Structure 1
């Protein structure tokens, strides 16, 4: 558990109460975890397997923005109103993950300010990374040649 993305970012004293809220979840390859625009009421931390994050592109197949593996946080939209998924997600291989109910985590954050700060800091970093990945991927797909290159 320690050394795995989100769990590494959470102070040790807050990690155990958070983990008590999680339960194991499994998804076969091809399972849609959620669709863009649906209500976001949970999140996952991948233990094994891979999940593609995608964005709806009218008139085309969904564009894969990022592929997450072990330790990856699947879902941050539960944290920010209006609590709707900003992307879609699909298991691309069998996935084992920890699943967390957003309402339970919100209640824990209200009681544990260290957890709240660490979780918010971590999720903001994830959001920044996802925005960069989405920009690069969409420029690779639809921009002039080479426009998606790192600066």
Structure 2
């Protein structure tokens, strides 16, 4: 059984793949532009025209870049049997919404979605194992 845990934000996605007792990690950079629109410019003449900042351009570009980013992540986890998604703010929710919209088969495999701040790789691996019911501290008796 292939279980995948993903921690993502708008900068990168880090993943842990648990497959028959073996662990592997992956990282996908987002390539999102972080927009910082400058304020409008004022004309030199009194009561002259002003340049208007077009927020809609920035938001539309970010929407397309997020779609590409989420598509890369979905491609990486396409063969997973169970998925757990973690991350700060609304990033995990946006990813789950994108899965529901474009990849309903993958969306059905999502077992957990939790808000989690940044953490070390070991903390993240422990969180993923815990979310799938595995725990390193108490190995199963064989």
- The two structures have a TM-score, normalised by structure 2, of 0.31
Q: Could you say which structure has the larger radius of gyration? A: 2
- The two structures have a TM-score, normalised by structure 1, of 0.29
